[in-house]
Structure 1
Amino acid sequence: MTLPNGVQKEIFWIKRDGDVWFQKNWEKMAKFLKFGYVVFFKYVGGSCFQLEILGLNSLEIDYSNIKFIDQVETNDNGAEFVEVSDDDIEMPKTKKSKRTRKGKGKGKGKISSNVGGMNPCFELTLTKTTAKGYLFRIPCKFSRRYMGDFEGIARIRSFGEKRIWKVTVKYDHELDYTLVNRGWKPFAEEYNLQTGDVCKFEMTRSGPISFTITINRVGE
């Protein structure tokens, strides 16, 4: 579950008599709800949902006080980054993926794969959710070939800049896809990403995994 302020929580559930019942960790989310609130669950792929909560006045509540998970360490501006030089960039080492499952979680919407040239790359056309910096999925074909079942911290930077931002990469073993969530929001806000923008992710390093992003603005 992801809230509009970027806060996330994993919720455990069971299926009973055809219905899905939330269990462990749902109580941590529910304590912020009051009788009469309306909660919208927006499906964003895999097992991920974005929540929007309307109060008794039919307006969205203030999410700023909802902080029930450990947040990524950031600087004073709320963004996490380090400085590197061009000498730190190296070509990625490609290797065969160790995955054995078939691709259940194929990329949807406007996500496409474009591997070619000197460095492997893919393109991501931003939806409303990805433009606001909540999360996005790396195309399965790309992640299987170049990332395997990698989980951890990856680095991204905008083309032509030295500032490096850290993002959290998670591999869903059950659905067989790779998700980027925490850390993407500060980057999206810094570069004012909009719905329809196309971001080209060029993999420039395999250890740690690093991407250079070229942003093509919608309408340009």
Structure 2
Amino acid sequence: MASQWRRDNDDGPADRSPHFFKIILPNAVQEGKLRIPDKFVQKFGVDLSDMAFLTIPNGRKWKVKLTQHAGGVWFQNGWSEFASSHGVAVGHLLVFKYEGNSQFHVLIFDATATEVDYTLDDEVQVHRIEDDESDDSSVEIIKHFYRGEGLGSAHPKKDGGVAKNLVIANAFKSENPIFTVIMRPSYLNGKDRASLPQDIINYLPRDRFTKDYTKASILPVKLQIVDRLWPVKLYIYERRGGSSCVVSAGWSAFVRENSLQVGDVCVFELIMRDGVLLNVHIFKCQD
């Protein structure tokens, strides 16, 4: 998908609109808010109101409240709805282009560094917070932050090394197809399931799938670390918005016996050898 803010033509001037990016870490998912980089706020905070507008490439616009606390400025009220509607998860990367007047264009990349598909399905309704009267105190707080007040009290939470861990994992190379997954709380809480990148479906032998009562397509596979194997099943679900792939029926045993934690990165290397084998390379998240 072409970036919405590429140059209009190759001969024209480069786009000088300010940008910043954010890697989604566990605390952003758990707390339902996302911190705007301090340096950006120092430079452009005087231009921000208490309400931001986020536009994605399919043209949908979202209203998200800006708040100030812990020495920083955050996307908050409305952020969780925006993130969940677009499947934003730990390890995703979001690029924000600032257009002025609290208007941001947003690109979303998944943990494989691939831009996501922005659904145009009419069944997916954009959830926006209701129009509020302008909160003058919020605007003033952001302007104070712009002038540098409050910076000394900023205490960003540790990310547990997730960003650094993801960089290390993404450096892994193989001649075989590989798929990167960052461990989320929902993958480790005993539900015996985790989502795999959608692209893996393109490499699987569809003639080996069977169907079950859920109408999912099921493929038995094995997870391997060194010389040990864990039998699991892949479930492929076909929906109007696209396909999804879930590993289950043995996943919880793999999680438990390898002591996986939130923020760990698993690189799944697909090997076709007497069936489907996923060689798993685990990159542990270090504080």
TM class by shorter chain equals: 0.3 to 0.5
Q: Which structure: larger Rg?
A: 2
Structure number with the higher helix fraction is 2
Tell me the TM-score normalised to structure 2 length: 0.35
Tell me the TM-score normalised to structure 1 length: 0.45
